[in-house]
Each structure stands twice: as structure tokens, then as C-alpha cells.
Structure 1
Amino acid sequence: MRELPAGHDAVVLDFGDEDRPLSAVGRAAAALREATESGALSVGDIVPTAHTVLVQAEPGAGLDMLGVHRALRGVSADDAPSAGDTAEIRIPVVYDGPDLHEVAEIVNTTPEDVIELHTATVWQVQFMGFAPGFGYLVPRDGGDHPFDQVGRRPEARTRVPSGAIAIAAGYSAVYPRTSPGGWQLLGHTSIPMWDETADPPARLAPGSMVRFVVDE
């Protein structure tokens, strides 16, 4: 892990040199959130990405790097992000996506097994991005997953419908609105991911636990 200063009040923790940076980011972000919630660490925001975690103190407060190091000290490669008291968000899915059979071929299994893999996995939002309400979900246990070998489509679609359920490069996601996209589409849900009239407007947030279920 490298520490990259980001002014007096923030630091970027870079896990790009780790064997599995995505898992390392997940473990670190979970440990920092736990320390913040317990009162052991005082920070304004924790923002994970694919390879880094931004730890931001309240403006002008200065960052407690000793507290950051203390929170990360016990984190090992075998630790999975803790679910804590976070309730699972259940998202019903109709598995009728145009890429379902192609994904089955990539992982050398059947479409039915792809559905079972997707629904059996407990997913956790590692970070938000791309569009309002778009959460990048990773397997909570942080280990190897059959979907790791599923990449993006060679050519992106110009229009992916709102509610599309997708996977790519070890992530799963729900498209919160109609937009271009290059992920593999497994199905769709009618549950909105973004509602400007709601409080909060995004159904998902970093750390949220997600379980996809077959919509009967």
C-alpha cells in the first residue's frame, strides 16, 4: 500500500501493487468504516475506487493518520469485509438478458448455473460512480469468483435500458437509467436505483449489502 498525500486533510491509499487490489480496497474501506462508526477514527468521508481509498477529514481538521494506521493494522489478506449490522437489499431480477448464454459459455457452465451463481453471491457496494445511483458491487467474501473471467463486451451498446442487471471484470451492477454501456447483461429489475424525490435519492451506498433474487 502506498500513501499519497491529498492536501492537509486527506490521503489516498493506493493498493494498485497488491495481487488483488479490488479485494484489498474492500478490506481497507470496511476497516476504516468500522473504526469511524465505533468512534475510534474521526473522518469526514471514505471514498473507495477500484484501486484506491480516499480518506478525507473534515475541512481544516487535519487527518488522523495514526488512527488510519491503527484501523488498518489488523487487516489481513484473509479478511473479508464485515457485513456488520447492514441489512441486505434484495433486488428481484428477471434473468432474460441478451448476454446470459454468452456469459455461460465464458465460465463454461449453463445459463441456469450463471443465474444460481449470481443469486447465491452476497454482493457489497464498493464504490459509486459512472452515473447517479450506479453502484459497483463486488462479492462480499473477497475471494476468487467465477465471474472474474467475464470481461466487458468487445463493443459497447449505445443504449442499455434502466434496470439492466450486468456483470463485468469482477463487478455486478444495476443500470440506474438508460445509457450507453459495455457490460454483460444478465437480466433486468423494476426496482429503481435512483429517485430524485427520495431521501436519499440513491437506493445503494458504499458498503450496502445486496442480494439478487429471481423474480417469480
Structure 2
Amino acid sequence: MPRSPQDAAPPWEIVPQGDRSVLLVLGGEISMETGHRCAAAAAALRAARIKGVSDIVPAFNSVALHYKPGLFSAGASFRRLAGEIENVLSQALAQGLATAQARQIDIPVCYGGAYGPDLAQVAAHCRLSEAEVVRLHSQSPAYVFMLGFAPGAPYIGVHDPKLAIGRRSTPRTNVPAGSVAIANLQTMIYPNTSPGGWHIIGATPLVLFDPFKDPAALLAPGDTVSFVPIGPDEFLAAQRGRP
């Protein structure tokens, strides 16, 4: 939102996080608008190449900046970095804060059956048919807010309120790689076999994280995802076609 530097506070807050990280807070709720602001702020800060900053990590409503304290004078790290962040964002805001060109990525998903063991439970909880759950989950593009939990694991949303369901009361100790699961109006795709507490409604044959590729993660914050329903035969064929 445009502001006058003289009479309005900036639409963000900068707070210290330990001795080598600061947190830029851009909102108090999870929404696509806030997610876009975080991605735009991260893009502007990356482009500025602030000396000493080693990593910039956008999330739902914030952006973490990790820095090397040894490059700043003693006791001045946070104050100096906060001032540089303010300058970068103020200039970017005056010019119209904008993200880099967002990627549009299709994620094929085989829903239900052995691939989505919780689909029936989700449908019953939401008072929908299984077909309606699939339709609502795949009908509109969704936004990648952040990566977390495991390398390359995306938090994707926000889905139709009709799909409202919390996490499982008892997490699984072994969730297969590629599982597509929902909770709290979001989707998580598990990049590797791991414990997990979300409801598995399907699976994708795509590889979400490969440390031998650059970039290693298939998805990134700011991407837009479309879930594309496929059948078991297509799933197996795609798996066989992977390198």
C-alpha cells in the first residue's frame, strides 16, 4: 500500500532472530495476498545483494534474512541490516513492489485407492463425495507459500473452505515419497519417505527434491501449481519414465 514516509509507519516489522538472522514480518494471516508480498519483498532483497546476507527465505507472512555477523562492526549487525532492508523495501514500494515472473507448474496426481488412503475419510469429514474432493482440490491453481519440514517440501494453498480439515489425530510414521496430503486448507507434497500427519488423498510421480539437480527442489515459493488428476496407469508410466 502506498504511504507517505513522513506520516505513516512502514507496512512491515523487522525483528532480530538470534545473532545472525532477522525476520521481516509482512502480515498476520495466511493469504495469497500476504504470500505474494513476501515473495515480492524477497525478490527485491535478493536483487539488492546486501553485503553479508547469506540467505533469504520467504514464508507464509514473513521473510527471514540470514547474515554473517563477522562482516559488520561489533553490536551493529542488526541495526545496520535493518536500515538497509528499510531502504531497499521503501524504494521497491515506491516503484511498485513486484515479484519476479511466477512459474506455472502442473502437478499430476493419482487420487484415492492405494495412492490416496485418506480420500474417503476426508470426503466423509467434509460431507462431500470423493469426486467432489478431487474436483475442489484440482479445480483452481494454488500458491506455493514456502518450503519447509523437509528439503523441497512445499506448503501450497489456500484451498476451497469446503475442504477444511485439520491434521490427523495420529500421525503416520512412514509416508511414501510423492504423497499429496491436505490439512488446514493447504497441500503438502512429501518429497521423501518420512513421518507425517496430513491426510493423504493422492500421489504424484514427480520427484520433488533431487540433490544432484540445480535447483534441487522442483517447486519454489511464489510458484503457482495446478493439480492434474491422472489414473493409475498414467502414474506408473510416468514413474517408469523417470531418469
- 1:27, distance to aligned residue in structure 2 (A): 3.3
Residue of structure 1 equivalent to 2:134? 115
Q: 1:96-129: CA deviations, max 9, x gaps?
A: 1111122222332221111111112212221111
Name stretches of at least 5 consecutive residues in structure 2 with no aligned partner.
Answer: 1-11, 73-79, 232-243
Which amino acid in the other structure matches residue 130 of structure 1? F
Residue of structure 2 equivalent to 1:154? 169
Q: 1:183 aligns with which of 183, 198, 208?
A: 198
User: Aligned Cα RMSD in Å?
Assistant: 3.1
- 1:57, distance to aligned residue in structure 2 (A): 6.3
Name stretches of at least 5 consecutive residues in structure 1 with no aligned partner.
Answer: 76-80
Give the total of aligned pairs: 203
Alignment of 1:1-12 (within 5 A): 2-6=13-17, 11-12=22-23
Partners of 1:92 and 1:21 lie apart in 2 by: 25
Q: Does 1:95 align with 2:111?
A: yes
Residue of structure 1 equivalent to 2:58? 48
Higher helix share: 2
Q: Which runs of 4+ in 1 moved over 6 A?
A: none
Percent identical across equivalent pairs? 36
CA shift in 2, pair 1:56/1:23, >3 Å: farther
Alignment of 1:7-86 (within 5 A): 11-14=22-25, 18=28, 20-23=29-32, 25-36=34-45, 39=47, 41-43=48-50, 44=53, 45-56=55-66, 60=71, 62-63=80-81, 64=84, 65-71=86-92, 85-86=101-102
Q: Looking at CA atoms only, which structure, 1 or 2, has the larger radius of gyration?
A: 2
- Contact conserved, 1:15 with 1:24, CA < 8 A, in 2? no
SS class of match (2:195): strand
TM-score, with structure 1 as normaliser: 0.77
- 1:50, distance to aligned residue in structure 2 (A): 4.1
- 1:212, distance to aligned residue in structure 2 (A): 1.0
Partners of 1:107 and 1:213 lie apart in 2 by: 21
- Contact conserved, 1:25 with 1:49, CA < 8 A, in 2? no
- 1:167, distance to aligned residue in structure 2 (A): 0.8
Residue of structure 2 equivalent to 1:215? 230
Q: Does 1:193 align with 2:208?
A: yes
- Contact conserved, 2:104 with 2:226, CA < 8 A, in 1? yes
Q: 1:52-78: CA deviations, max 9, x gaps?
A: 321456874853213224546799xxx
Which amino acid in the other structure matches residue 106 of structure 2? R
Q: Does 1:127 align with 2:142?
A: no
